């Protein structure tokens, strides 16, 4: 059953039940379905046709969900971009997606850096969305009495694909606009629900443990489960969270835009195995290449990249996704991730191609050349550092460079740290020596 | 103190305009966390998530007032 069919079903069986909460607003299943059909009528009147893409910014509110579902109800394709997407990026993606035709099974196109390190439109079928929801419902045990808190950006698979299982079982989703106001997060627990759950990237969990450990512990009996993923969580953070929430299920999930949700591991087991992502979920399968590359297959994987058959063939072969992750299975059949091939940097769950940051930064007049590398923030974990070779006559102006990059790229691609170097290290054939900077 | 805090925070978060009257709206969760970390370490004051309110982080002046309040409470 699709997300929209589920909402329609619950609009008839439990029309007065709250489906979505956002700040002071909330909407019942009955009102949500009515709003979706009304919105769909408007979209059709504006000319939206089946199998055509609809690009929009993913606002963190109830209107996002109404629009997202209405697009599907029109049998069109939802293309949500980050809320802060600069107009240039919006226009470029609009131009990209509208230049192609799509098969009738495509439901979403999500833009990601992901497996290839380059920004790509990933086509997700209805089957993939339903199968991801089924994986979560089966393996994480979503139940109708749950209130699930979504604080991450709704154009990102980790948050967007949580809406599906929540509303498919007739539970309630609470949308927060990020986690910068942690009080807003804790205020959610004053709502009249007995079971709460959420997804957070490891950096957000660490932030909560650093600044709100007491409040977390006080909620221990009401937090049914917390899922993390999209970036590695340390063994110490697993242990600390397990001590704060001894009775909660705490999952480390392996997934991605190209592969959907693949594996999950409840690390509240006293072992706190770093890198362990458990076993494949219901509709997923994982094997390894002879070099240890993780190969994913099953109903949750993508249909391909928009307008890029060559890259699609490189990544998607015979129904299997050959990504950049390395892993191994232990004797119990649990998958352990062992790192990643290539140059992509994972910043709080967002994959960043350093070349994209360098390209944007290099258009600033003070920068002769630069290299973007991973660095460590004491709480957030991996962040970006930009090593800069200054143009003659310029001094380092971090703020000007940061604002310059911010005007061109998403927020998570703006480096946190900046420094100057006299020249870039290069390989024997003159290319920038990225390995040198990984040391 | 205000100039010192401005210098500290601008160094750590160069893309943020700390002179803005709508500072909180400029921040993301990384920014809020960074501010809490820097101020708690620099002034040896206990800061919690409950301190990171839109009111306390509305302007640089409100951040200074929060620090002064924490210091006087010690």
- Above pLDDT 90, what percent of chain A? 77
CA-nearest residue of chain A to B49? A211
Q: What share of chain B is helix, strand, coil (3-state, %, to 5)?
A: 65, 0, 35
**Boundary residue ending a domain (A310, A340, A370):** A340
Please report whether residue A385 resides in a domain: yes
CA distance B48 to chain A (A): 5
Q: Inter-chain contact B52–A181, Cβ cutoff 8 Å?
A: yes
Count of structural domains within chain A: 2
**Boundary residue ending a domain (A340, A369, A403):** A340
Which of B7, B9, B15 is most worth mutating to test chain A (most A CB atoms within 10 A of its CB)? Answer: B15
Predicted confidence (pLDDT) at residue A412 exceeds the cutoff of 60:
yes
Phi, psi values for residue A134, rounded to 5°:
-65, -40
Integer Cα distance of A334 and B41 in angstroms: 40
| Residue A328 · residue A291 · CB < 8 Å | no
- pLDDT band for position A353 (cuts 50, 70, 90): confident
What is the interface pTM, i.e. ipTM, of the complex?
0.77
Do both A361 and A336 map to the same domain?
no
Residue A398 in contact with partner chain B when CB distance is under 8 A: yes
Please report whether residue A348 resides in a domain: no
The domain in which residue A434 lies consists of: 353-438
Do both A242 and A327 map to the same domain?
yes
Q: What does the pLDDT read at residue A411? A: 81
- pLDDT band for position A404 (cuts 50, 70, 90): very high
Mean pLDDT, residues A126-130: 97
User: In this complex, how many residue pairs, one in chain A and one in chain B, have their CB atoms less than 8 Å apart?
Assistant: 73
Angle of helix A235-244 versus helix A202-218 axis, rounded to 10: 20
Predicted confidence (pLDDT) at residue A114 exceeds the cutoff of 70:
no
Task: Identify the bridge partners of residue A101 per DSSP, sorted by sequence position.
Answer: none
CA distance B35 to chain A (A): 11
Q: Inter-chain contact A380–B28, Cβ cutoff 8 Å?
A: no
| pTM of the shown model | 0.86
Query: What is the residue-averaged pLDDT of chain A?
Result: 93
Higher pLDDT, B61 or B74: B61
Question: What is the CATH classification number for the domain harbouring A430?
Answer: 3.30.300.30
Do both A273 and A413 map to the same domain?
no
Do both A165 and A120 map to the same domain?
yes
Task: Identify the bridge partners of residue A110 per DSSP, sorted by sequence position.
Answer: A122
Q: What does the pLDDT read at residue A206? A: 87
CA-nearest residue of chain B to A187? B50
Do both A314 and A182 map to the same domain?
yes
The CATH T-level fold of domain B2-73 is 1.10.1200
Please report whether residue A347 resides in a domain: no
Q: Inter-chain contact A183–B48, Cβ cutoff 8 Å?
A: no
Integer Cα distance of A385 and A415 in angstroms: 5
Do both A196 and A175 map to the same domain?
yes
Do both A304 and A368 map to the same domain?
no
Please report whether residue A172 resides in a domain: yes
**Boundary residue ending a domain (A340, A372, A405):** A340
Do both A120 and A245 map to the same domain?
yes
Do both A331 and A428 map to the same domain?
no
Give the tens place of pLDDT for each residue, B25-41. 888 888 888 899 889 98
The enclosing H or E element of A287 equals strand A284-288
Contacts of A210 in chain B (CB under 8 A): 33, 37
The enclosing H or E element of A238 equals helix A235-244
Please report whether residue A346 resides in a domain: no
Question: What is the CATH classification number for the domain harbouring A237?
Answer: 3.40.50.12780
Q: How many C-beta atoms lie closer than 10 Å to residue A332's C-beta?
A: 8
Please report whether residue A360 resides in a domain: yes
Please report whether residue A316 resides in a domain: yes
Do both A43 and A187 map to the same domain?
yes
Residue A186 in contact with partner chain B when CB distance is under 8 A: yes
CA-nearest residue of chain B to A203? B30
Q: What does the pLDDT read at residue A335? A: 97
Non-local (6+) Cβ contacts of A5 within 8 A are none
CA distance A425 to chain B (A): 26
- Three-state secondary-structure class, residue A394: coil
CA distance B57 to chain A (A): 10
Mean pLDDT, residues B58-64: 94
Predicted confidence (pLDDT) at residue A284 exceeds the cutoff of 90:
yes
Do both A70 and A98 map to the same domain?
yes
Q: Inter-chain contact A207–B52, Cβ cutoff 8 Å?
A: no
Please report whether residue A417 resides in a domain: yes
Integer Cα distance of B41 and B4 in angstroms: 14
């Amino acid at each position: 059953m699709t997300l929209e069919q589920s909402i329609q079903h619950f609009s008839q069986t439990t029309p007065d039940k709250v489906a979505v909460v956002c700040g002071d607003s909330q909407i019942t299943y009955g009102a949500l379905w009515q709003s979706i059909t009304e919105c769909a009528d408007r979209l059709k009147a504006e000319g939206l046709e089946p199998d055509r893409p609809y690009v929009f910014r993913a606002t963190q509110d109830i209107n996002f969900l109404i629009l997202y579902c209405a697009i599907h109800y029109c049998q069109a394709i939802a293309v949500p971009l980050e809320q802060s997407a600069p107009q240039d990026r919006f226009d470029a993606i609009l131009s990209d997606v509208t230049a192609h035709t799509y098969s009738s099974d495509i439901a979403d196109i999500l833009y990601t850096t992901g497996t290839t390190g380059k920004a790509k439109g990933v086509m997700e079928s209805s089957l993939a969305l339903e199968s991801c929801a089924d994986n979560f419902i089966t393996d994480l045990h979503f139940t109708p009495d749950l209130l699930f808190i979504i604080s991450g950006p709704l154009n990102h698979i980790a948050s967007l694909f949580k809406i599906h299982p929540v509303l498919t079982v007739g539970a309630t989703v609470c949308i927060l606009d990020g986690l910068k106001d942690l009080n807003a997060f804790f205020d959610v627990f004053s709502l009249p629900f007995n079971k709460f759950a959420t997804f957070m990237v490891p950096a957000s969990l660490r932030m909560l443990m650093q600044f709100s450990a007491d409040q977390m512990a006080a909620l221990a009996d009401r937090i049914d489960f917390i899922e993390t993923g999209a970036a590695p969580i340390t063994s110490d953070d697993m242990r600390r969270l397990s001590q704060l929430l001894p009775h909660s299920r705490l999952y480390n999930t392996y997934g991605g835009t190209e592969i959907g949700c693949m594996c999950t591991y409840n690390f509240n087991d006293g072992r706190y195995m770093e890198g362990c992502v458990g076993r494949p979920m219901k509709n997923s399968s994982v094997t390894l290449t002879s070099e240890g590359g993780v190969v994913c297959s099953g109903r949750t994987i993508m249909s391909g990249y928009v307008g890029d058959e060559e890259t699609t063939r490189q990544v998607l072969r015979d129904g299997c996704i050959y990504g950049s992750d390395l892993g191994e299975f232990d004797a119990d059949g649990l998958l352990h991730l062992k790192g990643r091939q290539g140059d992509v940097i994972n910043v709080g769950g967002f994959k960043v191609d350093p070349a994209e940051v360098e390209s944007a930064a290099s258009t600033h007049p003070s920068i002769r050349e630069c290299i973007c590398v991973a660095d460590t923030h004491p709480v957030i974990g991996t962040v970006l550092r930009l090593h800069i070779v200054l143009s003659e006559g310029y001094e380092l102006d971090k703020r000007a460079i940061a604002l310059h990059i911010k005007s061109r790229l998403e927020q998570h691609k703006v480096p946190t740290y900046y420094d100057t170097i006299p020249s870039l290290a290069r390989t024997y054939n003159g290319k920038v020596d990225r390995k040198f900077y990984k040391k | 103190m205000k100039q010192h805090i401005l210098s500290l925070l601008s160094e750590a978060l160069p893309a943020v305009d700390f002179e803005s009257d709508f500072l909180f709206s400029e921040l993301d969760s990384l920014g809020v966390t960074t501010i809490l970390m820097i101020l708690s370490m620099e002034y040896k004051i206990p800061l919690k998530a409950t301190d990171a309110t839109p009111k306390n982080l509305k302007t640089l002046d409100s951040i200074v007032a929060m620090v002064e309040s924490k210091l006087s409470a010690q």
